[in-house]
Every structure is written in C-alpha cells, then in structure tokens.
C-alpha cells in the first residue's frame, strides 16, 4: 500500500511540473494573434526594439494574419517577424489612401492598395508608365504555298473519237501562245461529217433553180444542220470556211491553244487513241498566281479581303513581292485550326512557281487605341488587373477590360484614362504586396455578428 501511495504522489508531482511549464510557455505567447496584440519578450524582442520604435507593426511573411507591435519570432512557423513599413503621416496621397481608401473606383476583391517606399521600388524593379494611345498595327507572319490561278487554267479536250496524228505540244513545261497548234486528230467520224456538209452545200447550189420556195428552204436547213454538227464537234469558223473554200474534207482536225501559258500536264502521246472523256493537255497562265496562306483562328479579326501582303523567298534574298488578299476561306481546317487566305500576285518573271513555299506578311492597321504594356496586366482568366500609381508610392489595384492584343501591348477598353500612370514593370511584386495587405486587412476586420434565434 505504501508503494502504491508513493507512485501516486510521484505522478502527481510530475503532472504539476508539466502544468506549470505549460502555463509559462502559454504566458510567453499569449500576446500573439491578430493585429494590435503584443509580441514575445526576450533577447530577440529587445534587439528588435532597439532597431524599430515601439508601436511599429510586424508580420510573419508566411502567415500574414500573424501580426504584433514588437519584433520577435512567429509562434506558428518560427520565422522572424518582418517590419511592416507604413507611409509617413501627413496629408500625402498615400496616407489618405491608406487611411480612408480611394472611393473613385470599385475595390478589387483579394487586392488592396499598397504603399511601397521608393527604396523598395528600386529593389524590386518597379517602373511606371503613362497610359496613352499608340498606333495598333498588327503584322501577321505565316507561310504561304504558291498555286496556279484557278481562273487561268484550261483543260484541252476533244469532242470526237480518233487518233492523235501529230502532237505539237509534246512535253510538260513548254510555253504555248493562244491560237498555237497543240495537236492534230484523225477521226473518221469528223471526215464523214465534213463530207455531209459539202454534199449539203452542193445540193443547195443545185436547187437554186427551183421555183418552189419550199425546196430552197429545205436545202438551206440541210446545210445549216450539217454546219452545226461541225461546230459541235469543235471546228472553228475559220476551219469551216477553209472546207467550203477548198471543197475537200480535212483528214485531221487541229486543236489550238485556248490561252497563252505553260503545259502543266501532258496526258497523251502521239498515235494514241482519244475520245471526249480524255484530258489531253492542261495549260496554266502563270503570269498571275495565287498564294494560300495559313492564318490561325485568333488572327482572323486582323485579316480581310483587300489587305496588302508582302512575300519574301529564300532563294531571292533581298527581294520583296507585293500582292493583295482577295479571299478569306469560309471553312476552318480542324486539324491545324487555321483558315486559308488567298493572296494574288503578279508574276511576270515567274519568280513564283506552283508548289513553292514563301514567307508571307500581312499588315493590318487598326488605328490609334488606348493601350498599356503587356507586362502591366495581371490576368487570372476571369479578370484583368493593373496597378495605378496614385503618387507618393501608393499603388491602387484596378480591374480593366481589355480588347485587341499585340505582342508588346494590349488595348484597354474600360477602366483607365489617358494620362494615368500604371505599373509597367515589377507588377508581380506589387501584386504580392497587395495580396498581403488584403489578407492583413481581412484578419483585423471583425466578423459580422450573427443574429440569435429566439
């Protein structure tokens, strides 16, 4: 029994010592908490008090709501408390803003106006810039592929069956002139049609002595019918007149070049049998060509028909060709998310050849617009924020509405006025200070009292 009582006394003594230790530890940190509470006493506090006057505010960089009026260590993480700099008292713009806020613009949730002394601005690289208008010129650079002008292409066909007797344009790439002979076809069907036409002419000549007008009209109808057949087979008026003049049917029918250009496709050889379904030759006039440029969908607002475009070629350094956009295709290519823009270029020297690639630049002048540097805007996906310099080192967060973006600037549609100064560099650091100030303000603001239900 004595041994049991001794153990009880021992455990009671240990518990008393632990309780006393807990009270001591608690008493050291009882002043920590929200703003305007005290800090720990001790060597650290004494050293800090010698540096900063009593009444200065300190906060933990990791826990913004942990604040004190004396230096020390954060009771949560043990990090050294940092002196919170405040603007000097007086009638300055910064003091007024800190004391009463800036009622001119709506507040930005999660951000607060912040005062940053000049020395600190220099350390974090803060640079301000005046808001103004700049010329909005958007240059779209892309790659284009040269193609033949589809309105200057011609497929050479025959309307009769036969055999190629002579092939004048006998190689791909040869240049032909309009009206130049391309090939001659022997067709028994065409020879027979010519003979029928000659017979109709002779019959009409023999019937001119007839007194009956019906007989004369019948001869005229027969000649006209035979002539129309030759026209439908593709004979020109000059070829038909030659048959009438000689009175002898031509053994072959010659096809002539319908346009001047280059033979881009030769599908037949001499002696080959051909018919109406055979594409004999393809001719392209390359004195004017198209270039198909791929433009991303976000660049479409800057492209329209009639815009000027320039082209440079890798094999012609220093030379620039000038053309114009004539069509923006109405269909988007799903795989590449691009739209084809058709550009037209004069090509008298054949510098642009089909299937050639070139560097394209399309310039769009949108006029003068209010703008800020791209780095001045903080975008969260739901809103865009800039920091306005109110003077005396005070920066106010402001939500803005943006418009057209350039690589180096962005248009401001609403939220800023010309002549205001905004933070153009070091925005991220100013934003961090603003978030910290907002969190500290939220920590010292008492929560609204809840109504008791009776």
The residue-averaged pLDDT of 255-277 equals 92
17 lies in some domain:
no
Highest mean pLDDT range out of 13-27, 126-140, 432-446?
Answer: 126-140
5 DSSP 8-state letter: H
Q: What confidence score (pLDDT) does residue 295 get?
A: 93
pLDDT digit string, tens, across residues 371-408: 999 889 988 878 889 999 998 889 999 999 998 888 78
275 located within any domain: yes
Give CB contacts under 8 A, 24+ apart, made by 412-416. Answer: 412/131, 412/370, 412/371, 412/372, 415/386, 416/131, 416/370, 416/372, 416/386, 416/388
The string of pLDDT tens digits covering residues 334-343 is: 898 999 999 9
In terms of average pLDDT, the best of 12-21, 157-166, 425-434 is 157-166
Query: 175 pLDDT exceeds 90?
Result: yes
Q: Is the pTM of this model over 0.75?
A: no
Can you name the residues that pair with 316 across neighbouring β-strands? 313
Tokens of 332: 């988007």
In this structure, what CATH number is given to the domain that contains residue 393? 2.40.420.20
Can you give the residue range of the structural domain that contains 327? 139-149+286-366
**Domain presence at residue 167:** yes
| 193 and 251 part of one domain | yes
User: Is 352 part of any domain?
Assistant: yes
The pLDDT assigned to 6 comes to 56
The total of structural domains in the chain comes to: 4
Same domain, 181 and 251: yes
Please determine, for residue 200, whether its predicted confidence score (pLDDT) is greater than 80: yes
Q: Which residue has the higher pLDDT, 284 or 107?
A: 284
Is residue 1 one of the residues assigned to a domain?
A: no
According to the model, what pLDDT value does residue 322 have?
Answer: 93
Residue 27 has pLDDT above 60, yes or no: no
pLDDT value of residue 99: 45
Q: How many CA atoms lie within 13 A of 349 on its CB side?
A: 4
Q: Which residue has the higher pLDDT, 163 or 314?
A: 163
What CATH number corresponds to the domain at position 331? 2.40.30.170
Residues 6 or more apart whose CB falls under 8 angstroms from that of 376 comprise 129, 386, 387, 422, 423, 424, 427
Same-domain pairing of 98 and 171: no
Is residue 344 very low, low, confident or very high in pLDDT (cuts 50, 70, 90)?
very high
**Element (DSSP H or E) covering residue 436:** helix 427-444
Using pLDDT thresholds of 50, 70 and 90, give the confidence band for residue 218. Answer: confident
Name residue, tokens 């002979």.
181
Lowest mean pLDDT among 15-24, 165-174, 400-409: 15-24
């Amino acid at each position: 029994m004595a041994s049991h009582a001794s153990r009880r006394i021992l455990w009671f003594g240990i518990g008393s010592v632990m309780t006393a230790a807990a009270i001591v530890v608690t008493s050291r940190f009882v002043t920590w908490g929200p703003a305007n509470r005290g800090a720990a006493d001790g060597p650290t506090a004494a050293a800090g008090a010698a540096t900063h006057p009593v009444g200065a505010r300190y906060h933990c960089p990791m826990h913004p709501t942990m604040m004190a009026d004396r230096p020390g260590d954060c009771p949560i993480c043990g990090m050294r408390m940092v002196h919170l700099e405040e603007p000097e008292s007086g009638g300055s713009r910064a003091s007024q803003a800190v004391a009463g806020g800036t009622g001119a613009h709506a507040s930005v949730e999660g951000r607060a106006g912040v005062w940053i002394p000049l020395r600190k601005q220099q350390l974090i690289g803060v640079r301000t810039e005046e808001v103004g208008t700049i010329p909005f010129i958007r240059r779209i650079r892309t790659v284009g592929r040269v193609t033949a002008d589809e309105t200057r292409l011609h497929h050479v066909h025959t309307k009769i069956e036969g055999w190629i007797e002579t092939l004048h344009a006998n190689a791909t790439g040869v240049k032909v002139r309009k009206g130049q002979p391309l090939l001659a076809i022997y067709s028994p069907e065409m020879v027979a049609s010519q003979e029928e036409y000659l017979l109709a002419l002779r019959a009409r000549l023999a019937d001119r002595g007839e007194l009956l007008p019906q007989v004369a009209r019948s001869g005229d109808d027969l000649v006209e019918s035979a002539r129309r057949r030759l026209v439908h087979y593709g004979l020109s008026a000059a070829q038909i007149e030659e048959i009438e003049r000689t009175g002898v049917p031509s053994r072959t029918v010659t096809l002539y070049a319908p346009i001047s250009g280059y033979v881009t496709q030769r599908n037949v050889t001499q002696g080959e049998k051909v018919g109406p379904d055979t594409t004999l030759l393809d001719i392209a006039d390359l004195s004017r060509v198209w270039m198909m440029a791929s433009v991303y969908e976000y660049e479409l607002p800057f492209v329209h028909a009639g815009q000027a475009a320039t082209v440079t070629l890798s094999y012609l350094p220093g030379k620039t060709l000038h053309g114009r956009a004539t069509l923006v295709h109405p269909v988007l290519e799903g795989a590449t998310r691009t739209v084809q823009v058709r550009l037209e270029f004069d090509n008298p020297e054949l510098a642009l050849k089909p299937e050639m690639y070139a560097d394209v630049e399309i310039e769009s002048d949108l006029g003068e617009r209010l703008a800020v540097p791209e780095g001045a805007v903080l975008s969260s996906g739901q809103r865009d924020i800039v920091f306005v310099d109110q003077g005396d080192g005070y920066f106010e967060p402001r939500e803005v509405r943006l418009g057209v973006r350039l690589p180096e600037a962005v248009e401001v549609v609403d939220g800023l006025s010309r002549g205001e100064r905004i933070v153009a560099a070091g925005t991220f650091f100013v934003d961090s200070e603003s978030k910290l100030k907002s969190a500290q303000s939220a920590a010292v603001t008492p929560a609204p009292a809840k109504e008791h239900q009776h």
